[in-house]
């Protein structure tokens, strides 16, 4: 009975839903912008290879929180800083490319 009742009533779509769909169709990005740029993520990874730099100090330098660093550099959640070390031998460098 409810299905029949709903089928007869016109749907009212909020204007914002229509606007969002149009924006997506144009290829615009919706929502909050990312907290870190690709360049900041690369810088964080480079700095994390140095044993004297901590996640807190890098976060402070980049103007983000520690949790943001952990979000954008997921290798850190393994518990080892070795996960973000830069390859040192020629073979490792060639394998990484």
pLDDT at 63: 95
pTM of the entire predicted model: 0.56
**59-85: average pLDDT:** 82
Q: Residue 13 gets which letter from DSSP?
A: -
Residue the block writes with tokens 């394998």: 95
Tokens of 65: 């929180």
Predicted confidence (pLDDT) per residue in 17-44, tens digit: 888 888 889 988 888 899 999 999 999 9
């Amino acid at each position: 009975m409810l299905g029949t009742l709903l089928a007869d009533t016109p749907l009212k779509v909020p204007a914002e839903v229509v606007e969002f769909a149009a924006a997506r169709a144009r290829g615009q990005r919706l929502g909050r912008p990312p907290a870190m740029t690709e360049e900041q993520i690369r810088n964080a990874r480079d700095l994390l290879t140095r044993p004297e730099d901590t996640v807190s100090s890098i976060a402070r330098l980049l103007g983000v929180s520690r949790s943001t660093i952990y979000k954008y550099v997921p290798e850190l959640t393994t518990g080892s800083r070795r996960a973000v070390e830069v390859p040192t031998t020629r073979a490792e460098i060639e394998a990484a490319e």
